[in-house]
Amino acid sequence: MAAAKRFMVEELRREREASSLNISELTTFVDGGEMFSEKRRGTYPKVIEDPVFSMANSYFMSREESFDDSMKKSVRYVQRKKELALDPFESRVFKDAITEDLPIALHESMFIPTLQGQGTPEQQEKWLSLAKDYKIIGAYAQTELGHGTYLRGLETIATYDPSRQEFVLDSPTLTATKWWPGSLGHTATHTVVVARLIIKGVDRGPHSFIVQLRSLEDHTPLPGIEVGDIGPKYGYFGMDNGFLRMDKIRIPRDQMLMKYSKVLPDGTFVKPPVAKAAYGTMVGIRCGIVIYSGRGLARAVTIATRYSVVRRQGESSTGGPEVQVMDYQTQQHKLLPLIATAYALISTGQFMLRMYMQIQSEIMEGNFSSLPELHATSSGLKAFCSFAAAQGIELCRLACGGHGYSLASGIPHIFVQYAPAMTYEGENTVLYLQTARYLNKLYSQKLPSSGLADNVAYLASNYTLQKRSPVRTAQQFLDPHVLLEAYRQRARRMVAIAVTRFENGKRSGLSQSDAWSSSTCDWITASNAHCHYVVLKSFYSAVQSSDLTGSNRAMMDALCALYGVFGITKYSGEFMTDGYMSSEQVALARDQLYSLLSTVRKEAVPLVDAFDFPDETLNSALGRYDGDVYTHLYKWAQRAPRNKKKVHDVYEKYLKGMLKQTKAKL
Amino acid sequence: MAAAKRFMVEELRREREASSLNISELTTFVDGGEMFSEKRRGTYPKVIEDPVFSMANSYFMSREESFDDSMKKSVRYVQRKKELALDPFESRVFKDAITEDLPIALHESMFIPTLQGQGTPEQQEKWLSLAKDYKIIGAYAQTELGHGTYLRGLETIATYDPSRQEFVLDSPTLTATKWWPGSLGHTATHTVVVARLIIKGVDRGPHSFIVQLRSLEDHTPLPGIEVGDIGPKYGYFGMDNGFLRMDKIRIPRDQMLMKYSKVLPDGTFVKPPVAKAAYGTMVGIRCGIVIYSGRGLARAVTIATRYSVVRRQGESSTGGPEVQVMDYQTQQHKLLPLIATAYALISTGQFMLRMYMQIQSEIMEGNFSSLPELHATSSGLKAFCSFAAAQGIELCRLACGGHGYSLASGIPHIFVQYAPAMTYEGENTVLYLQTARYLNKLYSQKLPSSGLADNVAYLASNYTLQKRSPVRTAQQFLDPHVLLEAYRQRARRMVAIAVTRFENGKRSGLSQSDAWSSSTCDWITASNAHCHYVVLKSFYSAVQSSDLTGSNRAMMDALCALYGVFGITKYSGEFMTDGYMSSEQVALARDQLYSLLSTVRKEAVPLVDAFDFPDETLNSALGRYDGDVYTHLYKWAQRAPRNKKKVHDVYEKYLKGMLKQTKAKL
């Protein structure tokens, strides 16, 4: 999006002119290929140039205004999608460019995929065409007021009535109320409801049903349906996360999604051929969180990096103008590892996408053998990446000083958009522990490395454990083999510690389940260490298998190393376990860290420019490409609703009486 | 606030009945004495029972409605303060109970203290009575659009004109615009302005001036004054953080605050007798942040703890109802160290308050000798405590799972209220480095311990460095001497590492300032380690010097130990530096940590009950004393503005056309 002659503050111009990077090549790396870059560049202007999609006033809106605005944008999106005949990839890019939460989004990301993944061909034929034409809008109602990640605890029930060949859906308790589903409150006409299937008094566990919520005539809730919004949240003002109570409402038998489990007319229950086959939608969504986490952090770090170059604060030792904040080592230490993390998460997202696509196509052919690995990998990475992104975004906000707290910085909005990913679609702690069970199983089975997937091969019984790190100079930390080996060693040791506590628990007489419980904190550590290794490995693989050349390649190698050594200094105690690293070696890692900060500092601005976020979608006074920060902060504030009058109404209402010592009207 | 017979969910009743703690004794410990507890208990009902102060609808309000509401509450507060003849302590407690940000707050916390601290007796006589009668309302305008923590970079100028004995105040550039001061936008009639004093072309540095902003007749901005709101922020919706531009406006000579520096009628500049004497206000505010940080975290952890006991999730190994979330080791690991941290921060706040009061009274007597220590201690602790509180609040939110993201949880509101403390009144990194300069000076001077204040005595040249931690059993970590010694050792080693890099830098030919810059990351680590030690030490001192007895004393000892061992496991690499601790010893700390989690788990609810936040001020559906969480979440949502109509207006405006395939109106 760079243009040669456009206005730019001197600070940013200097950085860009001094750069030796080929930015468009880096952008292609970030996008995952030239074809994707092209589609993105073709799609974005269609959003940016459309006034309906403007975000210029979005930070001034009340929550209710946001909802109105988001609905308008949703309908406009659907209209444009048809007019422009966008393919699925372009549609996704189009929504990315809109940047805001659309109440229609769950229809496309959850409702339709669930129909596709769990519906029979007949069900798909009936419902998919209605859904794809937007004649109905669907939500996905799983989470309840009292039940989240633990699916088997759901209380909503669907009782089969063979006499009428209908299911009776009911919310028997207050805590059974469906709670949180996006678009459920006021948008959706239909929803998938996850309920425990009861046949002849037997509980068959959670299954999915299609339920109509509102009249297609006038949008009023149907009899027996109580539906509405769950009230204001931290963010997502434009989304109508909703609640749903059902009072013994009846739906025909063919509205249970029956691709896997089936209920025959007489009430005979047919189990799915493969257990867990229906987990597909959830796994897909988790993969999606991994895939997008990097983009969120990239947005925030683009803002903080540009602003830190423009912002001057503190006395220069040479007597010139004040110091650019980015020239402080402490600021580099805050932001440059986050630039590295953004690239690492984007690379991990690409790895996750490939893995998902491959295993998905296996599943389509009826081969479910890789599902456990996909499940374990996506669970841990969802937890690791969503936390890394959210925490990184908050650090970017802090790195902007006071102005980071203004909505004009754009970062609070990014944070509240990404933060829920830490709890939705599986709470992070629970997901880490799912990965931990997989790690425990692999480690305890003592398989040879040939029997293990690449990312977990270090858990093999024949994997040789280096007793001591061989590092003797800071320079050696630039070697990918050295770093990756260190991360493997750490992860293996953390797994071993957790296994030992688990096994000791059992030996001391605890039940299997209590022994597991008593080792869960250690398992979180192990799972985190494993995921950290997978992310570093994915980052190196992406760089090594890329077409990057020259300075670009050298800089990305430096970013990989920065990501690696930063982690060593942050988790030094874990790397020192069993004496694998000495404190002298950690000190060398720290030396290398500071050296890499200087290297990466020089290209910090081009590195975030390569993420290629147009100003309109970044929506940040601090993160502007031209760096004209203060003018735009000032202009933005002038437009704030509170400044409509020079003397605010609160003066007449309240202040005047107090100041003039007449009786205040309250 | 506990009442014996009130309704309470079974889960909470069981915890409270099983407790062996004396809660009211603990509350007195938290309050800092019986007298304070009594005043608090006397004051709170006057707020809670007054409908003007109700927070029942606060999460539903738009930002503009919040501002109106906060102004109403401000005026009501002033009215009640007079009627009830509240003393300064009671006034503070009264405002605590209101919980929300009042646009009048800066008048009392900044404007009046600045007049008192920097005004001459004549100035105080003139301005203080006006201010204390609320005939004027003041703000404190220091920070500028382009200038924050680095005071000497301020661009606003006050040029003395001896011919008219006036100062000419001017905002010469856009970046000189005052930006952020609370109450400045639409409330204040006057403000203290910090500007560079220019006399006969000589820049005398930043000084404070009283400037009238708005007419006392009709509140319109005076000629030459451009003033307004800086626009919406992450939180503080009810506060009118403002901007101010001055176009060569004139004020009389006696509106420069002249307790220290003076300008005589002919323009002669008289330097203050003691440099930095005017820093008093700022230091006071920083101390205040330390003092209050514990309360913020205590609020959040009260909510998360109660909810974690009520909330059930996951299969019970004994086949009973689902597991209480608090019974998971991972949940204990999230929340119990935060309960300990809240108590530690509250104890540190009490230490800070005593230190501030003592040194303040020395300063009143003209003795400034302890100011550098107060400055260094309050800077580092402000950074440490504000970060610990904000990070802890966010962790509490995550520990509440999905519902933590609802405004009804109350935690997002607490976070956005406390988060700015990390950047305002001195950005945390800058403040850590101020403490670091003090640590460097003490360490490098090689003073004997007799020449050092208690908290820094470990930096003395005659302090004997234990080479190895003597710990051989997990049990030994319960010994305060062992823990405190470990924290001293770690802090001293971190200081030594930073000093070494600084000295090596100088030896390698870097300038003093560049050598310092190249060691700042290490200094942040050192400063953090030092503050961590001071907090642990303050916590132990508070417990040991208290009247706590029996189970209360035993539990507080356990909380101190929990705080200490948690820090060792979190920063294990630092404790392992130079082999002070081995990885086996860190493993013992981890064993002790898990053991303490079990101990503290039993009293988790009473420990947060002792903070004694009435439900009305906690304003959280999840944190209710009675635990009736789901009923209140549900009821609250029903009242949300978006649920006023069963069919929302967006249907007619946008959705209908799309669903019915008629042309959408956009």
Question: Per-residue pLDDT tens for B277-333?
Answer: 556 677 888 888 998 999 999 999 999 999 999 999 988 878 888 999 999 999 999
| Minimal-distance CA residue of chain A relative to B510 | A317
A425: annotated active-site residue:
yes
Model confidence pLDDT, tens digit, residues B436-490:
999 999 999 999 988 888 999 999 999 988 899 999 999 999 999 999 999 999 9
Say which amino acid occupies B155: E
Q: CA B517, B519, B521, B525: dihedral to nearest 10 degrees?
A: -140
A408 → closest Cβ in B231, B314, B575? B231
Q: Are A266 and A373 in contact (CB under 8 A)?
A: no
Structural tokens at position B7: 């309704």
Q: Is A565 on the interface with B (CB under 8 A)?
A: no
Q: How far apart are CA A301 and CA B280, in angstroms?
A: 36
B191 three-state secondary structure: strand
Are B134 and A658 in contact (CB < 8 Å)?
yes
- B472, with CB counted inside 10 A (0-12, 13-18, 19+), is exposed
Q: How far apart are CA B244 and CA B173, in angstroms?
A: 12
Q: Which residues contact B69 (CB under 8 A, 6 or more apart)?
A: B58, B61, B100, B238
Residues 194-253 of A with CB under 8 A from B: 214, 216, 218-221, 228-235, 240, 243
Rounded alpha-carbon distances, angstroms, from residue B124 to A294, B108, B548: 56, 14, 44
| Phi, psi for A327 (deg, rounded to 5) | -85, -5
Picking from B102, B171, B329 by the largest number of A CB atoms within 10 A of its own CB, the best residue to mutate is B329
pLDDT at residue B273, rounded to an integer? 76
Q: Is A651 on the interface with B (CB under 8 A)?
A: yes
Q: Place B663 in a pLDDT band, splitting at 50, 70 and 90.
A: low
Count of C-beta atoms within a 10 Å radius of residue A230: 28
Are B71 and A650 in contact (CB < 8 Å)?
yes
Q: Residue A2: pLDDT above 70?
A: no
pLDDT at residue B352, rounded to an integer? 95
Model confidence pLDDT, tens digit, residues A252-287:
999 999 998 999 999 999 998 766 655 667 788 889
Model confidence pLDDT, tens digit, residues B220-240:
999 999 999 999 999 999 999
Structural tokens at position A341: 């993390």
Say which amino acid occupies B388: A
pLDDT at residue B234, rounded to an integer? 97
Q: Is B185 on the interface with A (CB under 8 A)?
A: yes
Residues 476-515 of B with CB under 8 A from A: 497, 511, 513-514
A218 → closest Cβ in B221, B514, B647? B647
Are B648 and A186 in contact (CB < 8 Å)?
yes
Residues 118-147 of B with CB under 8 A from A: 133-137, 143, 145-147
d(CA A611, nearest CA chain B) in Å: 25
Share of chain A above pLDDT 70, in %: 97
d(CA A274, nearest CA chain B) in Å: 23
Share of chain B above pLDDT 70, in %: 97
ipTM exceeding the 0.95 mark? yes
Mean pLDDT over residues B388-398, rounded?
98
Q: Is A187 on the interface with B (CB under 8 A)?
A: yes
Angle, helices B428-445 vs B480-507, to 10°: value is: 90
Least confident of A481-485, A614-618, B13-17, B447-451: B447-451
- Between B5 and A225, where is the model more confident? A225
B175 → closest Cβ in A630, A636, A659? A630
Residues of B with Cβ-Cβ distance to A233 under 8 angstroms: 405-407, 412
B630 → closest Cβ in A174, A235, A333? A174
Q: Which residues contact A210 (CB under 8 A, 6 or more apart)?
A: A115, A123, A127, A138, A190, A191, A192, A193, A251, A255, A256, A257
Q: Are A169 and A230 in contact (CB under 8 A)?
A: no
Angle, helices B63-84 vs B88-98, to 10°: value is: 150
Q: How far apart are CA B235 and CA B417, in angstroms?
A: 6
Mean pLDDT over residues A98-109, rounded?
92
Q: Are B532 and B518 in contact (CB under 8 A)?
A: no
pLDDT at residue B356, rounded to an integer? 93
Each as own residue / partner, the long-range contacts of residues A278-282 (CB below 8 Å, 24 or more positions apart, any chain) are A278/A117, A278/A118, A278/A208, A279/A371, A279/A375, A280/A117, A280/A118, A280/A360, A280/A363, A281/A110, A281/A113, A281/A114, A281/A117, A281/A118, A282/A425, A282/A426
Residues comprising chain B, all counted: 666
Rounded alpha-carbon distances, angstroms, from residue B393 to B221, B234, B360: 39, 15, 31
Tell me the torsion sign for CA atoms B356, B362, B368, B370.
negative
A521 → closest Cβ in B330, B408, B524? B330
B125 three-state secondary structure: helix
The kind and range of the H/E element at B280 are helix B280-310
Domains of chain B, with CATH numbers? 134-271 (2.40.110.10)
Q: Are strands A269-270 and B190-199 parallel, antiparallel or unpaired?
A: unpaired
d(CA B267, nearest CA chain A) in Å: 28
DSSP structure class, residue B645? S
B406 three-state secondary structure: strand
Model confidence pLDDT, tens digit, residues B40-84:
999 999 999 999 999 999 999 999 999 999 999 999 999 999 999
Residues of A with Cβ-Cβ distance to B322 under 8 angstroms: 150, 153
Q: Which residues contact A52 (CB under 8 A, 6 or more apart)?
A: A72, A73, A76, B666
Mean pLDDT over residues A119-126, rounded?
96
Q: Are strands A190-199 and A157-161 parallel, antiparallel or unpaired?
A: parallel
Q: Is B89 on the interface with A (CB under 8 A)?
A: no
A374 three-state secondary structure: helix
Mean pLDDT over residues A347-352, rounded?
96
Q: Taking all residues of chain B, what is their mean pLDDT, rounded to a whole number?
A: 95
Are B68 and A653 in contact (CB < 8 Å)?
yes
Picking from B178, B225, B326, B330 by the largest number of A CB atoms within 10 A of its own CB, the best residue to mutate is B330
Are B573 and A578 in contact (CB < 8 Å)?
no
Q: How far apart are CA A539 and CA A204, in angstroms?
A: 43
pLDDT at residue A426, rounded to an integer? 87
Are B642 and A229 in contact (CB < 8 Å)?
yes
Q: How far apart are CA A479 and CA A485, in angstroms?
A: 10
Which of these is catalytic: A108, A425, A574, A603? A425
Structure-token match 């809240």, residue found = B342
Picking from B145, B230, B501, B584 by the largest number of A CB atoms within 10 A of its own CB, the best residue to mutate is B230
Q: How far apart are CA A343 and CA A417, in angstroms?
A: 20
pLDDT at residue B466, rounded to an integer? 87
- A628, with CB counted inside 10 A (0-12, 13-18, 19+), is middle
Say which amino acid occupies A93: V
d(CA A368, nearest CA chain B) in Å: 26
Q: Is B15 on the interface with A (CB under 8 A)?
A: no
Q: Residue A561: pLDDT above 50?
A: yes
Structural tokens at position A244: 């749903």
Structural tokens at position B130: 């006006």
d(CA A365, nearest CA chain B) in Å: 33
Q: Is A451 on the interface with B (CB under 8 A)?
A: no
Beta bridge partner(s), residue B191: B139, B211
Q: Which residues contact B606 (CB under 8 A, 6 or more apart)?
A: B15, B16, B19, B21, B23, B26
Beta bridge partner(s), residue B214: B221
Count of C-beta atoms within a 10 Å radius of residue A108: 22
Which of these is catalytic: B15, B144, B155, B425? B425
Model confidence pLDDT, tens digit, residues A367-392:
888 888 899 999 999 999 999 999 99
